[in-house]
Amino acid sequence: MSAKSRRPIYLSYSGPQLLATSLLNKGTAFSATERRDFNLDGLLPARFETLEEQAHRAYLQYQSFAEPINRHIYLRMVQDTNETLFYYLLNKHLAEMMPIIYTPTVGDACERFSEIYRRARGLFISYPDRDNLDAILHNATKRHVKVIVVTDGSRILGLGDQGAGGMGIPIGKLSLYTVCGGISPAYTLPILLDVGTDNPELLHDPHYIGWQHPRISDQQYDAFVEKFICALQTRWPDALLQFEDFQQSKALPLLQRYQNRLCCFNDDIQGTAAVTVGTLLSACRIQNQPLSNQRIVFAGAGSAGCGIAAQIIRQMQQEGLSEADAKKRILLIDRQGLLSQAMSNLPDFQLQLAASTDELDQLGLASGADLLTVIQKAQPTVLIGVSGQRGLFSRTIIETMQDNCPQPIIFPLSNPSKQIEATPEEIMQWTQGKALIATGSPFAPVQIAQQNYHIAQCNNSYIFPGIGLAVIIAGIKQITDNLMMTASNVLATAAANQTIDQGLLPPITACQQISRDIALAVAQQAIKDNLAPPQTLAMLEAALEKHFWQPAYRSYRRTSD
């Protein structure tokens, strides 16, 4: 515990108001002196408990729930009541509880958000309130916000438009910023931009808690987001803004519009790309092949797939390929089949990555070819799924992959797990345990021929908490692709000793150390790239220790101010 954490906090809150403030509430851990000084006598049971004792009791209560969604609801209740206890509990049981607070269970929580809603957290900013944004931001209960996650609920995981229910994603993401990246919950704020919903079930649901109106027009949307960004820059000019789960038509344009105006990034595009490249580098090390030697096929060419592809191209360029040669090693398949530059209706972000006619001729492929044909003709060594289509990777697809590559790299990344392209167990059975696998959701180890194989979760929480921590300790003003590349390489280094049976990535319990390593490396790269004020490594390390928050109770002193 640092010297800072041992210093008392001076509070004017008391009685029920103090107990109702989740960031300050200690429940039964308030001392006898604190109970007297803060008018808590009689409001709590007589027993004094340590944080460890509270966590033990909370874990017993957690275990009493059988269904993941009920465990999610319970943990959210703990978070809304006592945040120190919540994060202490997560720290002790991270591998078990991360799938409950985030993917895959958070998908169910978003779909049932109106049903399970209990207590306000963060800001719901509705379009009808567009002329009152400054006041709304000042209504936030936190003054010193440093990390914000925002969504409009339009594309939640692979579940589509969830409207106001999308708020579950920013809440979950920011929990991971804290538990993995050591960012104090006092510095985080989830925001939902409620611009309506086109989900007919929500529009006709009498219990839906969002703005029950069809989504606004593109022109209204752009003006609303611009107002929001301007108000945000006025209120918290140095905060990191993470865009999360925006529909494909909005995600990349928003990133391109604002990435040079404020410190922001899109986790679905850049965070997913960074963790995927880091995991690919780990797989390539096991194969003893550079990434630049791989031929990669994507099933799914939305913002996530194209973001990953673009980052792979940058990594291949670092390994010595030209941009043109790197692009030739990547093929993308979407709803209309294999993407080619001959297609007239492709958006720019797909057209830039689509195969040329000459490339298709060399491979014997036609524009719009299906996945099996592409695998047969192109003979890829890597298959990445970001399609949201359960079962897309059939046995025939996987066996055809292995016909041309004895140890194929196969990443079915779609979330939640019910929409995965193929399960790890299926892939390992079809390849006799030879495939190198990473998934988007967590899966149990797979046993093949008496050997257990741990399955790496290509989880963005390996990346984004460290990015947020770097912004805080170094004062980074802009998030660039080069900084994301730095994070990818730190993750690959952390995975350097992994074996095929251990999985491609370290266990998620290593995420705090990985976040620390990413934060320092990204901060140094940002300083080198003139994206942050000059600091020495020693200064950065001191700032990291100062800001890295761990759940522990501090003593309180009463003040009348």
Q: Interhelix angle for 68-81 vs 51-63, to 10°?
A: 150
Q: In what order do the strands lie in the sheet with 240-243?
A: 123-126, 188-194, 147-151, 240-243, 264-266
Report which of 162, 313, 176, 196 is spatially closest to residue 242, judged by C-alpha positions: 176
- Active-site pick, 173, 250, 327, 328: 173
Ramachandran quadrant class, 208 (left: phi over 0; alpha: psi -120 to 50; beta: rest): beta
How far apart are alpha carbons 282 and 269 in whole angstroms?
20
Report which of 51, 3, 1, 58 is spatially closest to residue 25, judged by C-alpha positions: 51
Contact 528, 305 (CB under 8 A): no
Q: Is 442 helix (H, G, I), strand (E, B) or coil?
A: coil
Position of tokens 């167990």?
Answer: 425
| DSSP E strand boundaries for 200-322 | 240-243, 264-266, 296-299
Catalytic residue flag (residue 173): yes
Q: Is 128 helix (H, G, I), strand (E, B) or coil?
A: helix
How far apart are alpha carbons 279 and 57 in whole angstroms?
37
Q: Is 460 among the annotated ligand-binding positions?
A: no
How far apart are alpha carbons 408 and 401 in whole angstroms?
7
Q: Is 155 among the annotated ligand-binding positions?
A: yes
Q: Is 143 among the annotated ligand-binding positions?
A: no
Contact 431, 423 (CB under 8 A): no
How far apart are alpha carbons 229 and 221 in whole angstroms?
12
How far apart are alpha carbons 57 and 53 in whole angstroms?
6
Q: What is the DSSP letter of 508?
A: G
**Contacts with 525 (C-beta within 8 Å, 6 or more apart), sequence order:** 482, 483, 486
Q: Is 96 buried (19+), middle (13-18) or exposed (0-12) by CB count in 10 A?
A: middle
How far apart are alpha carbons 315 and 323 in whole angstroms?
10
Chain centroid to Cα 4, Å, comes to 30
240-243/147-151 β-pairing: parallel
Q: Is 37 among the annotated ligand-binding positions?
A: no
Contact 525, 159 (CB under 8 A): no
Q: Is 198 among the annotated ligand-binding positions?
A: no
How far apart are alpha carbons 100 and 510 in whole angstroms?
18
HSE value, Cβ hemisphere, 13 Å, CA-based, for 335? 4
Report which of 465, 439, 540, 457 is spatially closest to residue 495, judged by C-alpha positions: 457
The token pair that represents 380 in the structure block: 């890829």
- Active-site pick, 102, 208, 258, 553: 102
Q: Is 245 among the annotated ligand-binding positions?
A: yes
Catalytic residue flag (residue 102): yes
- Known binding-site residues for (S)-malate equal 155, 415, 459
Residues identified as active-site: 102, 173
Which residues define the annotated binding site for a divalent metal cation?
244-245, 268
